[in-house]
Amino acid sequence: MKIFLLLFLLFQTLGAEVVIQELYSEDGILPLRELEKIQPVDNSPPPAPAVLPEAASAITVPVQILVIPPSGHDALWLPEKYLAARNTSIDVIISGVTYNVALRSSADILYVDFNSVFSKLGCTLQKGKDGIILTDNNKRSFNFNANGIIYGDGVEEKYPRFQGGDTFLPLVQTLRLIGYAAYCTQEKIYINPRIYEIGYKNSGVLIRANAKLQPGVLKQLDNPPRALIDMPYSAYDVSINILRVNDQHVSTVRAAQFDKGVVRIVMDLQNEHDRPVLSYTDGGRTMVLAFTQTKTDADTVHMPPTPALPPKTAVVPTPAVNTASAAQTVNYLKGLKVAVIAGHGGSDPGAPSKQGYVEKEITLEIAKRLRDALRAKGAVVFLNREEDKGMSLNDQAAFANNSKADVLISVHLNSFVNESTNGAESFYYKPIDFDLAKAVHEEIIKSTGQKNRGLRKAQLHNLNHTTMPGVLIEPLFMSNPKEAKLMKSPEFQQKIVQGIINGLEKYEQNKKSK
Question: Which residues form the catalytic set?
Answer: 474
- DSSP-derived letter for residue 444 is H
- DSSP-derived letter for residue 432 is G
At 74, the amino acid letter reads D
Q: Which residues pair with 21 in a beta bridge?
A: 33
* E-only strand ranges, 343-436: 380-383, 407-411, 424-428
Q: What is d(CA 214, CA 197) in angstroms, rounded to the nearest whole number?
A: 16
Give the largest CA-CA distance in the chain.
74
Contact yes or no for 457/427 (Cβ under 8 A): yes
Q: What is d(CA 90, CA 186) in angstroms, rounded to the nearest whole number?
A: 9
Those residues whose C-beta lies under 8 Å from the C-beta of residue 318, and which sit 6 or more positions away, are 326, 329
The phi, psi pair for 311, rounded to 5°, reads -70, 150
Q: What is d(CA 262, CA 311) in angstroms, rounded to the nearest whole number?
A: 32
User: What does the angle CA 429 – CA 431 – CA 433 come to, to the nearest 5 degrees?
Assistant: 65
Those residues whose C-beta lies under 8 Å from the C-beta of residue 119, and which sit 6 or more positions away, are 125
User: What does the angle CA 310 – CA 311 – CA 316 come to, to the nearest 5 degrees?
Assistant: 110
Buried-exposed string 67-77: b where 16+ CB fall within 10 A, e elsewhere? bbebbbbebbb
Angle between helices 490-513 and 359-376 (to 10 degrees): 50
| Sign of the CA dihedral with 443 first, then 446, 450, and 454 last | positive
Q: What is d(CA 374, CA 128) in angstroms, rounded to the nearest whole number?
A: 43
Question: Terminal CA-to-CA distance of the chain, rounded, Å?
Answer: 46
Of 213, 222, 182, residue with least CA distance to 54: 213
Contact yes or no for 342/413 (Cβ under 8 A): no
Contact yes or no for 344/359 (Cβ under 8 A): yes
Please return the burial class of 440, using the count of CB atoms within 10 Å of its CB with bins 0-12, 13-18 and 19+.
Answer: buried
Q: Within 13 Å, how many C-alpha atoms sit on residue 229's CB side?
A: 24
CA distances from 505 to 131, 509, 512 (A): 35, 6, 11
